Amino acid sequence: MTTPRSRTKRISLLVAFALATAILTVSPSSATVFPAGPSAGGLSSDNVEWVRHVPLAVDGVGGRLIDGWFYANDQNKIMIFDISDPEDPQMVGQVPMPQEVYLSREDLDGNGELLIVPNTLSGALHIVSTEDKTNPQIISEVPGADSHTSSCVLNCRYVYNSNGQIIDLRNPSKPKLVEEKWFDGLPASSSHDVEEVAPGRVLTASQPIMLLDVRKDPLHPKLLAVGKQPEDGRFIHTPRWPKGKDDFLLMAGETNANVTCDESSAAFMTWDATKWKKTHTFTMIDEYRATNGMYADGSPPASLSCSTHWHEAHPSFRNGGLVVSAMFEHGARFIDVSSKGKIEEIGWFLPAAGSTSAVYWITDEIAYTLDYNRGIDVIRWTGKL
C-alpha cells in the first residue's frame, strides 16, 4: 500500500539523489564489503549488475510471472511482456486501465488464461482474458469488488480480496460477488493481502497472520494456524511461504513517511514454520530493516519511506537461501536467509531517482524491479546461490 506523499519533498529528494549519483566518486573506505558500482541505472553492490531500463508511461506498480509471461501494471494500463529473452522484455499486449495516482493496485494475480485486476476508480474487479497475449480483453466486471489487492484461489475459480470479499469466478464471463466474507468468524477481520501458497492453502498478511484451508469449502475457510503477533502490533504487508512447506514464512511490513530509518521502520521477517502442524502457530525468528547511509554504501541518507514492500524468494530457496526485497528509495535489497532463519543483507541495487515497489525473479540470475518513478529495471544477480 502506498499512501499520499509530498510531491515537493519527492522531487527535492530525487534531484538530490540524481546529483549525488552524477558526482559520486567511490573511495576505498566506502568499499569495505560490497563496493558500489555506478551504471546508467544507478548504483549496485559488486554482485548485482544493472542490465537495462524499460520505461513505462506512468510509473510501475506491480506484476506477476505466470507460465513464462510477465504481467505488469502502471497507472495507465495492464501489460503483457514476452520474456523469451529475459534481458530484453518486449511488451506484446496491453489493456488501457487508468488507476488512481496513489494506492494503485499492486499484487497482480492470474492463472495464464485470466488476470484479475481490481480498480478503485471504476469501483469494480476486472476480469481480463489473457489467452491471446497480443490482444488481452476485459471479459467481465464485478461492481463493488474493488480492493487494494485481490488474489486467485483454487486456480482462479474463486477470488479473495483485501476487503474480505469472495468472488465466485467459476464462470469468468459471469462472476458473482458472494454474500459471505472469507474472514467471517476468523481471528483477523482484515488483511492487506492473501497468497495461495499451495493448492487450497492461503496465507494472510493480517493481525494475526493466518493459514487457511479452503479446499473443502472456499466460502468458509478453515483456520489451520496463526502467527504470534509481535507486541508492537506491527502492520503486515506481504505474506510469502516458498512452496507452502518451507521451514520459513517470509513476511514483511510497510511504514510510510519514515524519513529516517529506525526501530519503527517496517521489517522483512522470517517466521518459524516447522511446528505449525503440532502447535498451530508460527513464531517470528529474525527481522531486517534498511539503514541510512551515504549512497556509495548502498543506502540513502534519508528517504520518503524507510520500509520494506514486496519481496520474492529465489527459485532455489529451500529452508533458507536468497530473497530479493523492494524497499522504495532503498531500491532492491538482496537478503540471505540461513538454515536457522537468520537474515543477512548480501547485495543491493539502488536505482537513480527511484522508488522501488516490487521485484520479481525471472530466471536464476535475472530479476525485474517495478519502480514508481522509473518503470522496469532489469538486473542480474552475479553472487553465490
Q: What is the mean pLDDT of each run of 10 residues along the chain (385 residues)?
A: 40 41 36 67 96 88 96 94 98 91 83 94 94 98 95 98 97 98 96 97 97 98 94 94 97 93 96 98 97 91 94 98 98 98 97 95 98 95 94
Does 14 map to a domain? yes
Which three three-digit cell numbers place residue 287?
Answer: 527481522
pTM for this one? Answer: 0.91
Map 288-325 to HEC letters.
ECCCCCCHHHCCCCCCCCCCCCCEEECCCCCCCEEEEE
For residue range 152-210, list pLDDT tens digits in order: 999 999 999 999 999 999 999 999 999 999 999 999 999 999 999 999 999 999 999 99
Which range of residues forms the domain containing residue 34? Answer: 7-381
- Assess if residue 266 is contained within a domain: yes
User: Residue 31 has what pLDDT?
Assistant: 33
Decide if 128 is inside a domain: yes
Cα–Cα distance measured from residue 136 to residue 128, given in angstroms and rounded to the nearest whole number: 7
Give a yes or no: residue 2 inside a domain: no
How many structural domains comprise the chain? 1
β 222-227/281-288 pair status: parallel
Q: What is the pLDDT of residue 5?
A: 40
**Residue 369 falls inside a structural domain:** yes
Each as own residue / partner, the long-range contacts of residues 18-26 (CB below 8 Å, 24 or more positions apart, any chain) are: 18/352, 18/353, 20/295, 21/295, 21/352, 24/295, 24/296, 26/296
CATH number at residue 358: 2.130.10.10
**Residue 1, in any domain of the structure:** no
